[in-house]
Amino acid sequence: MNSDVALKLTNVHLTYPVRKSSPKSVKRLFSLFSRRKDEITATLSDINLEIMKGEIIGVLGHNGAGKSTLLRLLSGIYQPDKGSVQVNGKISLLASLGTGFQRDLSGRDNIVLSGSLHGLPIEKVRALVPSIILFSGLEDSIDKPLRTYSSGMRARLGFSIVAHLDPEILLFDEVFAVGDSSFRARSKQRIAEMVNGDSTVIIVTHNEQLIRDMCTRVICIDGGELVLDTTDTELAISEYHKNSDKRDLK
């Protein structure tokens, strides 16, 4: 793979069952791996994609189109049934509000814990703590237990931590546009700084303005297939609406 390429997917297929609801009996609990009427299948089909270092990629698609599945495939959480996924760099995935946080620990302690889980030496993590706190804007709450935080506060803390780890490939799943306008402005600036340093950013979002403001390239996914890959953000947004309209008519 070319050294300028951050991620490359070749003829990737992935199919797996996803339950619509949790099992309601012991019998059903032991049948998790059998196909039942209350299961759906999440699929990616024949995905070919090459992402270069320094790109900011937006991923558009309706709910269930395969966007989150794609991110988890890129991060290594899922492995393809067919095809190959090649990665050139260290990946950080921010896929939910405060993934890996401990609710009974303070925000400050969760910063140290998260940094350690990402493989940073404890001394380096502690040195980053003041900057992370300042960036998050949570100075007044940082020593309170995380269980007292709102979902937006947890998302701001999560983004602030990941943004200071200098990942080579950063994946966001619907958690970027959090906080007030000042925090969003700092977040955009921080992403721009990372990209200027050859980091690669991939953002799954329904926020069209975010796509317009930040992304250098947009891909649209529908029904698990890559239906558009373009640098024309308006064309991508139009395709997104077209696919949504088709679903509404069904």
- Checking if the pLDDT of 121 tops 80, the result is yes
pLDDT band at 26 (very low <50, low <70, confident <90, very high): very low
Contacts of residue 24, defined as CB under 8 A and 6 or more positions apart, other chains included, come to none
Domain that holds residue 180: 5-90+168-249
Question: Structure pTM?
Answer: 0.77
Q: Where does a domain end: 166, 186, 221? A: 166
Contacts (Cβ under 8 Å, ≥6 apart) of 53: 4, 5, 6, 88, 89, 168, 198, 199, 200
CA dihedral 132, 134, 137, 140 (to 10 degrees): 100
Would you say residue 95 lies in a domain? no
* Tokens, residue 196: 């200027």
Tens-place pLDDT, residues 148-188 = 998 888 888 988 888 888 778 988 887 655 566 778 778 77
d(C-alpha 68, C-alpha 74), whole Å: 10
If pLDDT is split at 50, 70 and 90, which confidence band does 80 have? very high
The mean per-residue pLDDT over the stretch 131-150 comes to 95
Q: Is 236 helix (H, G, I), strand (E, B) or coil?
A: helix
Do 187 and 149 share a structural domain? no
**Domain total for the chain?**
2
Residue 134: alpha-carbon gap to chain centroid: 23
Shared domain for 147 and 173, answered yes or no, is no
* Mean of per-residue pLDDT scores for the chain: 83
Residue 158 lies inside a defined structural domain of this protein:
yes
177 shares a domain with 73: yes
Across the range 236-240, mean pLDDT stands at 92
HEC readout, 161-196: HHHCCCCCEEEEECCCCCCCHHHHHHHHHHHHHHHH
Q: For the ranges 49-53, 212-216, 222-226, which has the lowest average pLDDT?
A: 212-216
Per the DSSP assignment, residues forming a β-bridge with 170 are 92, 201
Where is pLDDT greater, at 218 or 115?
Answer: 218
Average pLDDT over residues 199-218: 89
Residues 161 and 186 reside in one and the same domain? no
Q: What average pLDDT does the segment 82-89 reach?
A: 94
The order of strands in the sheet holding 5-19 is 39-52, 5-19, 82-87
**20 burial class (0-12, 13-18, 19+ CB within 10 angstroms)?**
exposed
Share of the chain above pLDDT 90, in %: 44
Q: In this structure, are 68 and 142 located in the same domain?
A: no
